[in-house]
Structure 1
Amino acid sequence: MLEIGSGTGINFSFYKDVSVTAIEPNPFLRKTSYERAAAAKTPIHVMEGNAEQLPFSEQSFDTVIGTLVLCTIPNPVEAIREISRVCKPTGTILLFEHVRHENSLLGKLQDFLTPIWKRACDGCHLNRDTIHLLKQEDIEIIEINKHVGNIFITVEARKKQM
């Protein structure tokens, strides 16, 4: 299993009976990830890396997970391509993201706030249309669940079978 943008490793306590490789580009967050990985009940290998250039061979992982990460990645399209590349054809892509709201007024508010928010929150874009980005990169959406007024989504997806 690969976790992209592990941040502080907050997810590590949820992993059971699986080997995890976690990448995190931010050295400050990665430091805490190392500590949480050491305390985890499953093997977790934390390493420096970014999702736009994954240092793994094609079809290396059964599952790729991202939690509130595609909003911050500078080039989310390239990250999605890399996720697809390293995920096995029968693998699963699991994401938890915040997205641009479907309501035009709320979406415009997110558009307005994003430049300020990006500076304050490590490059985070409030208004990314993650579902559109996934679909344009031939990712098959299996299930989407919306949360907290449709601002947050969970996505189960996989590479489209050719």
Structure 2
Amino acid sequence: MHLYRDKIFPMMMKKNIGKKSILELRKKILSDAKGEILEIGIGEGTNLTLYPEHVDQITAVDNYIRKIDSSNINVNLIFASADFLPFDDNSFDTVVSTFVLCSVENLRKVLAEIYRVLKPGGQFVFLEHGKAKDKLTSMIQNMFNPFYNIFAYGCNINRQYKYEMVQCGFQLLKFECEKADIYPRVLTGYVYTGKVNKPEKMEKFDE
């Protein structure tokens, strides 16, 4: 089982979400990154070569520290969970998440933490796979999610991000859904890209 968890599954995922079409989507959302940047769930650093040229330093958190691919970006890497970020309120201009929100245990709590550490007017840019728009596919996703969750170590295939983001106080700036070349397509091939921001006028959020 450890062979699958430590070697086979990570290799499958890296190949799946490292495809050229997915890298283009990563680059698309990262083009908006600016100011003080926090990346949640940096993994091996797949995004580091895709940031705009003006980005030379970021802060990153992950709950599983591993070797990060080399790049020209200086990374302040911190061992931490996304649902308890070790930063003061209003610390960052940009927060980045790519294929992370699908696997967090408490999505609302993580989004609330992202909201908290963003400066007023700050932005959260993301690339995540989630629930399909058509009813038949979403029904299939709901049916298989408990099994996929075990197979993929906590990954959920039926999350609805827009509703949760709005509930946490974010303003939607961009929010797009498209089919992507992620296997198995019927379960994980619906990806969401976008940008939301924390309003300049602070709003209270109650969990």
With normalisation by structure 1, the TM-score equals 0.90
Q: Is the 8 A contact 1:17 1:42 kept in 2?
A: no
**Which ranges in structure 1 are unaligned for 5 or more consecutive residues?**
none
Correspondence for 2:39: 3
Distance in 2 separating the partners of 1:68 and 1:91: 21
Answer with 1 or 2: which has the greater Rg. 2
**Secondary structure class of the residue paired with 2:67:** helix
Supply the RMSD in Å over aligned alpha carbons: 1.4
Q: Is the 8 A contact 1:62 1:92 kept in 2?
A: yes
Structure 1 stretches (4+) deviating beyond 2 angstroms?
15-18
In the TM superposition, 1:1-162 aligns within 5 A as: 1-15=37-51, 16-18=53-55, 19-26=57-64, 30-33=65-68, 36=69, 39-148=70-179, 151-162=190-201
Distance in 2 separating the partners of 1:66 and 1:115: 23
Q: Is the 8 A contact 2:59 2:75 kept in 1?
A: yes
How far does residue 160 in structure 1 lie from its aligned partner after superposition?
3.0
Query: One-letter code of the match for 2:48?
Result: F
Distance in 2 separating the partners of 1:9 and 1:114: 27
Q: Is the 8 A contact 1:92 1:158 kept in 2?
A: yes
Distance in 2 separating the partners of 1:32 and 1:42: 15
Q: Could you list the per-position Cα deviations for residues 56-95 of structure 1 after superposition, in whole angstroms to 9, with x for gaps in the alignment?
A: 0011111000001111000110100000000111211101
With normalisation by structure 2, the TM-score equals 0.71
